[in-house]
Amino acid sequence: MRKFLKYTLATFVGVIAGFIVILLITIGLIGSLAALGEKEVVVKEKSTLVVDLDQALQDRASENPFEDFGPFNLNPSKKVGLNQILSSLKKAAKDNRIKGIYLKSSIAPIGMAHAQEVRKALLEFKESGKFIISHGNYFSQKGYYLASASDKVYLTPTGSLDFKGLATYVQFIKGTLEKIGIKPEIIRHGKFKAAVEPLILDKMSDANREQNLTFITSIWKEITKEISQSRNISVEELEQIANNLSIRDDKTALEYKFVDQLKFKNEVIDELKELCDIKKGKKLRTISVADYYKAPFKDPEVKGLAKDKIAIIYAQGTVIDGEGDIYSIGYENIPEAIRTAAEDSTIKAIVLRVNSGGGSALTSEIIWNEVNKAKAVKPVIASMGNYAASGGYYILCNTDRIIAEPTTLTGSIGVFGVIMTGEKLLKKTLGLSFDHVKTNDHADFGGAAMPFPLFGAIASRDLTQQEKDIIQTGVEQVYDIFVSHVAEGRKMTKEAVDAIGQGRIWSGTSALELGLVDELGGLRRAIEVAKEKAGVDKYRIVEYPKQKDAMEEFIKNFSTSAQTKLLEVQLGSQYPMFKTLEQAKEYSGIQARMPYIMEIY
């Protein structure tokens, strides 16, 4: 037995040591490859910029080359952010080495406000006289919306194009919770605060159905208006085409003038060569946005390095009770970025770029306070992305000026609290029972918290009415503070804010009419307003929060990335359900959160 234990221990130690050696070698190899990858990018003459929008898009992508590296992905692709795309398009318009753009937007799994801003940037690029050619085997509605900004739109023969109007779906898990014996205790303010509906209903409430329909109708109007202008097809005809499902195949897409010709990719490549004056037999010279963004370029209109700066602070992701990272908004990363920018005398204005559906009310209040202090010393301009709702609106409501895209989802001024209780699950299903002693009457407020997969922790007993009343009072207090901040920042009465609050969502267009935003536009417009407010002509952009060391982040997130990839592989089409269930564990404390993440189809 002693020998067995000895050999077992030796084997275990050997395996661990071997794993560590392999890990260190792998990290060293990756570091070497990363160093090699930092060579200066060379842009060849007569090049075509490839703008690939068939990938997820953040306001600001991670600069970590190992972000998606893991045991299930040894060859991660280079991600780009909206900031890189906008900067590259602006630079390419002046760069004589770039002859035009090859646009890839078949599926375009990006947010609607992102799509709208990129499309506007493409239209501005065309003013340089350079070409934009779009080609796809298939176009989703959002993909076609982007492609319609091109000079020519080509579809592969036998390909397809989707154009039927918009729909949004909500996944309800009330039945799932009932089956496993978990009861969500919901305390909320606002009849439109639909964030908790998936936990307590099996279909949309009338109020939620109304706000969702209003929102997607507003987006559809934007899409049809802009396609109409670019393709010279009336809005009325577009509506008729959608209602009749007239675009059924490649032939009808051509017949209704949605595409210019049916072409295979090799034919499109030949046309691009001709446009770039590249001889037959030679390869088309292409460069991706990820590479082009890093390429040096001397703008003839800019002389010398500007001393004055405008800071862009990217607040993207869920507002959390934690430090925060590049994809989340915490009580450390964003407040620290705001303080740093406010205290730097070379930074003349701040653009707070928010792309968030909210989250923790406490963290939102902390960030609101930092914004309030910063605007006392320099202009603070807010720019809304795809979402700037609930906590996402909370943190920017007192800025000097608020700018939103027409398709931005905003508002959702409301708060709620959720406590998951599992008395039925623990007693009847698992056979667990609890007993306790306590020093005071309410020492067991909420019951014993038990760790549970997906939900983090569940209370061992249901709440009493008195406990519910106490939480309700807290929710009402936070809502009153939220409404007061909005009223002060927007120069409205609390009654007026409450009338358009109640947790209801609005599009950017509707928010402008209601006074929740000041003008419509994107990130570039916000930078222009910041420049005007600061009174500077020559400036350069600095971005916050500062990103962490790539290797440090790789080691820290290696196991998490592996777990996520494994779950995606194992669960397949059921992974979205898992994410919906897992999100419930974030509902600790009072939340200023929008009604779920809306997916529009």
Beta bridge partners of 387: 409
What does DSSP assign to residue 595?
Answer: S
Q: What are 239-287's pLDDT values in tens digits?
A: 999 999 999 999 999 999 999 999 999 999 999 999 999 988 899 999 9
Q: What are 330-341's pLDDT values in tens digits?
A: 999 999 999 999
Interval 526-555 mean pLDDT: 84
Strands of 514-557, DSSP E: 519-520, 540-544
Domain 47-163+247-292 sits in which CATH superfamily?
A: 2-enoyl-CoA Hydratase; Chain A, domain 1 (3.90.226.10)
Q: What are 307-326's pLDDT values in tens digits?
A: 899 999 999 999 998 899 88
Prediction pTM value:
0.84
Interval 63-71 mean pLDDT: 58
Give me the sign of the Cα torsion angle 504, 510, 513, 517.
positive
Q: Are 145 and 226 in contact (CB under 8 A)?
A: yes
pLDDT at 415: 85
Q: What are 451-461's pLDDT values in tens digits?
A: 555 556 677 77
Interval 74-89 mean pLDDT: 83
Q: Are 594 and 212 in contact (CB under 8 A)?
A: no
Q: What are 449-485's pLDDT values in tens digits?
A: 655 555 566 777 778 888 888 888 888 899 999 999 9
Examine the pLDDT at 19 and tell me if it is beyond 70.
no
pLDDT at 597: 60
Q: Of 16-25, 381-390, 486-495, 582-591, where does mean pLDDT reach its minimum? A: 16-25
563 vs 462, residue with greater confidence: 462
Mean pLDDT of the chain: 84
Among 369, 406, 363, which residue's Cα sits nearest to residue 384? 406
Examine the pLDDT at 183 and tell me if it is beyond 50.
yes
pLDDT at 259: 98
Q: What are 258-271's pLDDT values in tens digits?
A: 999 999 999 999 99
pLDDT at 23: 53
Q: Fold identical between 47-163+247-292 and 166-231+306-549+586-601?
A: yes
Residue 11: alpha-carbon gap to chain centroid: 46
Q: Of 86-90, 110-114, 594-598, where does mean pLDDT reach its minimum? A: 594-598
Interval 12-27 mean pLDDT: 52
- Annotate 494-524 with DSSP letters as a single string: HHHHHHH-TT-EEEHHHHHHHTS-SEE--HH
Domain boundaries, the chain: 47-163+247-292, 166-231+306-549+586-601
Dihedral Cα 327, 329, 331, 335, nearest 10 deg = 100
Is 12 exposed, middle or buried (CB count within 10 Å of its CB: 0-12, 13-18, 19+)? exposed
pLDDT at 145: 98
Examine the pLDDT at 5 and tell me if it is beyond 50.
no
Interval 375-379 mean pLDDT: 97
pLDDT at 1: 45
pLDDT at 461: 75
Q: What are 117-173's pLDDT values in tens digits?
A: 999 999 999 999 999 999 999 999 999 999 999 999 999 999 999 999 999 888 888
Kind plus residue range of the DSSP H or E element containing 358: strand 358-360
Query: Confidence class of residue 36 from pLDDT cuts 50, 70 and 90?
Result: very low
Q: For a pLDDT cut of 70, what percent of the chain falls above it?
A: 79
pLDDT at 421: 78
So what's the architecture of 166-231+306-549+586-601 in CATH? Alpha-Beta Complex (3.90)
